Amino acid sequence: MKLGFIGCGVISIAHVEGLEELKRKGLETFELSAVCDIQHERAEQFASAVAKRLGKRPAVYTDYRVMVEKEQLDAVSVLINHDLHHTVAEDCFAAGVHVQMQKPLAISPSFGWKMIADAKKFNKVITLSEPSVLGAENVAMVKAIKDGVIGSISLILDYATVTLNRGFFAGTPWRHMKGQAGAGWINDHGVHRTHFFTEINGSIDEVFAYTEIFEKELSNGYVSIKPTGEDTAVTVFKYTNGGLGNWMCATSTHGEKTGGAWIYGSKGCLRPGQHVTLADGKKILLPELIERYAPGIVEHPFAHSYVELWEAITESKLPISSAERGLEALGVVFAALESATIGKPVRVQDILSGEKHAYEDTVLEEMKIV
């Protein structure tokens, strides 16, 4: 099947690595036949990088509507800023093309619902490329937890801070503006975490959060912005099954970064990406978990995302990383943002049902003026 990329920025080359892994393993996969970016030079350079890795240079476009019309694509991967996810998806569905979307599914929950409805309306597939639940390592960790390796989960701790020195995350100013990113890092990075949390232990019922914008101006020396997205978020949450969580992320910290998650259960602790430690001190390393729980799954999360897209199109198989799960993850992030806005705990269900939307309203407001 013929695949196109819309957006040739920071993350796009990692997707080519995913396609490369599938090719190397002799697995059936898409041919990346066209790429598009509004920055022509960027798209040309990216096409050359694709040619080196995959052996064939894709056609280059600067308008994705022209690309999908001319190239007779089966599917596209959408790799652009969050405010454009829903309009690009709708245009692609309408042109008869299946869509793989990057996280977050949409800039805000109401647009996430729209995308799912649009896919149904045009009878097209939508999958989400959410690496935190894809690839052998992540699939093995989730299955091990569901199999009871660490018992029933009581507590999740997840901390991530980065030191940007008042610069831009990944060199991209748009990530700090809520009208383009949906929020600050709590959405861009946070949705990876909430997707993983809910994958391993089911739905989160209620969230309470404080958020701040500590850095009032960010600059890379020639572009300066006044960020509207939160740079610091401190959150607590309660699972439907009773487990508790403490989750923090910040791009405002200086000097030292932090990173790590601890999943505590009645029999032990899982350190994502590292190992399990059982109550008697015995360690189970990830390769053992992969052998036991994910033997047939490709390693690279993005390689896996294209396996999921392929199987969703050819076999109507429900992907692990579905749009619906992505919407739930986005709902948890927006519950935190809502809570910080109104100063009260917020139920995720009230965000997903649209009953509470004070924070989302501020995003929609800014989208009109960006």
Q: Which residues bind ligand NAD (CB under 6 A)?
A: 6-12, 36-39, 42, 64, 79-82, 84, 102-103, 131, 170, 172, 188
Q: Which residues contact 118 (CB under 8 A, 6 or more apart)?
A: 86, 89, 90, 93
Nearer to ligand NAD among residue 188 and residue 360 (C-beta): 188
Q: Which is nearer to ligand NAD, 119 or 150 (CB)?
A: 119
CB of 6 to ligand NAD, least distance (A): 5
Token pair, residue 52, equals 């080196």
Tokens of 278: 């059982």
Least distance CB 150 / ligand NAD (angstroms): 26
Residue sitting closest to ligand NAD (CB): 9
Cα–Cα distance measured from residue 145 to residue 356, given in angstroms and rounded to the nearest whole number: 32
Can you say whether the dihedral through the CA atoms of 7, 8, 14, 17 is positive or negative?
A: positive
79 or 234: CB nearest ligand NAD = 79
Q: State the pairing for strand pair 75-78/98-102.
A: parallel
Closer residue to ligand NAD (CB): 51 or 170: 170
For 209-239, b/e burial (b = at least 16 CB within 10 A) is: bebebebeebeeeeeeeebbbbbbbbbbbbb
Quote the CA–CA distance of 251 and 185 in Å, as a whole number.
7
Q: Which is nearer to ligand NAD, 36 or 346 (CB)?
A: 36
| Residues in CB range of 352: below 8 A, 6 or more apart | 109, 327, 328, 331
Q: How near is the Cβ of 244 to ligand NAD at its closest, in Å?
A: 27
**Closest separation in Å from C-beta 187 to ligand NAD:** 9
* Beta-carbon contacts of residue 365 (< 8 Å; ≥ 6 apart): none
* Nearer to ligand NAD among residue 164 and residue 346 (C-beta): 164
Q: Tell me the closest approach of the beta carbon of residue 282 to ligand NAD, in angstroms.
A: 32
Give least dist CB 181 to ligand NAD, A: 8
SS (H, E, C) 176-243: HCHHHHCCCHHHHCHHHHHHHHHHHHCCEEEEEEEEECCCCCEECCCCEECCCCCCEEEEEEEECCCC
CB 193 within 8 A of CB 247: yes
Minimum separation from the CB atom of position 79 to ligand NAD (A): 5
Beta carbons of 8 and 35 less than 8 angstroms apart: yes
| Distance in angstroms (rounded) separating the CA atoms of residues 63 and 53 | 24
Which residue number, 282 or 368, has a Cβ lying nearer to ligand NAD?
A: 368
Asked if residue 301 lies in contact with residue 321, where contact means CB atoms within 8 angstroms, the answer is: no
CB nearer to ligand NAD: give 9 or 96: 9
Q: How far is the CB of 249 from ligand NAD (least distance, A)?
A: 14
